[in-house]
Structure 1
């Protein structure tokens, strides 16, 4: 009987996507996968055209969806994070039902932020694998958070170059119930059998090496490589047709993620800056809590004014947009998935971090890896970046000598990433994990 893994993502788009990519990788190594989703996310994903589960089955991969109730508290982030423990009972019941049906899992693969997962795995005598959702560098910073003071120069974190306080993740800079949960999740991950990161050695070798003898984080990324293919849905086709009509590298893709909200005044400056830049754009803009529609976020008449220049919608398949030849730049909040997708497609980034780990990611993107520009810094948190400044930086990203340099750097990282997921360390680590799961003896029905 095939080894069986139960994968449990944190209930959020930016966490479900890399877990689904990991599910595909494990399934391609012969591991059967049960992918756990809350009712809300199950509905969103399975009602999409060419949804992830149907797509996996078309590829011959054994990935099945499992449904648990929406048991988290909606509203503010603190209540949501603290209610993640409500998932444990439902996942435990799922594990029991799988066993009674003759499908005994080998392990739980869980998002590191789900602190209850390792104790649950131990109670069910399963292996536990933590998927760390951001950079290994961030893992090292938070792993060593007890060492971190807020002096001007922080140059003693293993595997991490010199930082300023403004470069630190929000979970260290601004203690809160949520940041305490995140930091504690790092400590809890020490008890997992494996910790895997959506990264690759050529990008984060120093941080990976520094953690080698502590809590080794095995790099298995970028998990989104090879690139996703375009779907067959009508909406996707319309977007593709629009992109097909544009010259190579002439379009900038804009997205600030699905979690942290950008103030409406800033959204309007971004809108005008994009229009003033003269570059065509595709903008994934989700309505804020006070808006029912995208147009409510934008200057009056904006969508009509820019209908030839830009596409604006609440959501696009990001990997598919970035992989299109007409796209030449990414205006991003610097979420880790977005950085990995940009590297995978060889697209330089204009970084516009909002919070959490994003300022840290932007610091490394600009100063260490050098395939991005800084569009916003921690010092800008209390000001609105105006349209003229945004327009100017978009132009630097998309044209001229600096654009050529950025593109050359990210292309080199792209080739290194390809090598690692094909024949290098990421491929090796993933095979070792799959082989470990196959060693677990599961009784037949």
Structure 2
């Protein structure tokens, strides 16, 4: 007999890198429970306009917009400061919502205050909330007393477990440290954390993630085999021991609705096997014009076919000869430079040899699954720890001092040397050192997601045991 269906509300940080994996989790949960996905009303509009939230999703998930202060003008530039401001324009409205959110324990909260904060009413009181880790401090003290069981969702387990020992005596670094490799340090309690992070995650008594003992469990978008030390840490740490910790990766982002898919597919089909260099720095903007020129110079010097995902306004800053080529791009072009690219399709195409990436966590997982080697170009935050993971696993190499905190321009020769080293074009693809490791990691990820694999089993326990019985 199946357990009773619970009403599960998922709330991501309102950036697409955070929305996408939680939306995929919502899709997987929908056959088992009644699922509501709440995010900024602007994001709801964009999810529908871009075809990411599909007709099938409409039939199985209630998508609800939070009437916050986020505007389209807030999306003009992918800078770190903008990413922080997005939260500032959402969280005050989130906390108002959670104070009056109807729960099975207090259904009387259905009233004008609650309804005025959403673009549509909830279908029923909430039993369980799955919160982005960034929203944990604000949400848990409001939801738990109302009888709503709370799970926290995080990307890499390492990023969460590294923070568990941070305390009041931990050094507070300048906030500019967000742009350095602080998250990759094995002991943040000693090395320190940015002041804004410390203030965000601690209460006045100096406790990290206050009220963590009230959580029903942890959901991690990773696999146990990638992070065995984290599994052991979370099983024994005083803040997490005894609670379910479910590693449920991979939860992949969607690629619907932005165009260029046919052009990219036709172009890739015309290239030689394992010949293409793919370059993308995600939604973060490479701000230095000189750096864009050095990247362009490096790619052209390789004399290899490449696809570069680059924002339209930045394409105008490229060398004139490259801009001229972009204007007439076709399936027969030597290379493609596009404002958006179907990343998973590119990574899984047999023409792709390697990926030059900012190693955002979603990109990292997609690359691991595809079995493609990495040249890592981290910019800030967890990207440094992600690059460290790729280097530890042997399927990636990091260009040093690339963070937004560093003022240096990485020269074309250094970029080309890193790409050549990882690509190892002098060997058959499968014989290359980085490619062999990439294939091993890919097999690990696919095995975890397959029936009977660790992630598949963890998800089953989450939806059939943890959520109904937490």
Same fold by TM-score greater than 0.5: yes
> Which of 260, 267, 271 pairs up with 2:296?
271
C-alpha distance in 1, partners of 2:283/2:30? 27
The residue aligned with 2:149 is: 127
Q: Distance in 2 between matches of 1:390 and 1:183?
A: 40
Q: Is the 8 A contact 2:98 2:143 kept in 1?
A: no
Larger relative contact order (CA 8 Å, sep ≥ 6): 1
How far apart, in 2, do the equivalents of 1:223 and 1:7 lie? 14
Query: SS of 2:163's equivalent?
Result: helix
Is the partner of 2:153 in helix, strand or coil?
strand
Say whether 1:46 aligns with 2:48: yes
Change over 3 Å in CA distance of 1:255–1:179 after alignment to 2? farther
1:356-413 Cα deviation digits (max 9, x unpaired): 12122212211x2111011233699231111121122222222245961111112112
Q: CA deviation at 1:432?
A: 1.3
Query: What is the aligned length?
Result: 413
Report what 1:10 is aligned to: 13
Stretch deviating more after TM superposition (303-312 or 415-424):
303-312
Shift of 1:36: 1.3
Gaps of 5+ in 2: 75-80, 103-108, 116-120, 173-180
Gaps of 5+ in 1: 151-163, 288-292
Cα deviation for residue 7 of structure 1 reads: 0.8
Q: Is the Cα–Cα contact under 8 Å of residues 260 and 355 in structure 1 kept in the other structure?
A: no
Contact 1:108 1:127 in 2 (8 A): yes
Change (3 A) 1:119 1:317: farther
SS of 1:350's partner is: strand
Counterpart residue number, 1:187: 209
Q: Which whole-Å CA distance do the structure 2 matches of 1:275 and 1:77 have between them?
A: 32
Which residues in structure 2 correspond to 1:321-360 (within 5 Å)? 321-360=346-385
> Equivalent of 1:427, from 453, 456, 466?
456
- RMSD (Å), alpha carbons: 3.4
Partners of 1:410 and 1:381 in 2: CA distance: 29
Name the SS of the counterpart of 2:150 in structure 1. strand
TM-score (norm 1): 0.82
How far the C-alpha of 1:278 sits from its partner, in A, is 1.8
CA contact (8 A) 2:5 2:34 kept: yes
Question: Structure 1 310/70 Cα, relative in aligned 2: closer, same or farther at 3 Å?
Answer: farther
Verify the 8 A CA contact 1:2 1:438 in the aligned structure 2.
no
Question: 1:339 deviation in Å?
Answer: 0.9
Partners of 1:169 and 1:55 lie apart in 2 by: 43
Superimposed CA distance per residue, residues 81-127 of structure 1 (whole angstroms, 9 cap, x where no aligned partner): 44542122245566455998652332111101013222232243111
The 3 A distance-change label for structure 1 pair 78 and 22 is closer
Whole-angstrom CA distance in 2 between matches of 1:251 and 1:173: 40
Aligned to 1:411: 439
1:22 alignment counterpart: 25
On the 8 A contact 1:34/1:64 being kept in 2, the answer is yes
Match in the other structure for 2:222: 199
1:365 equivalent among 390, 393, 401: 390
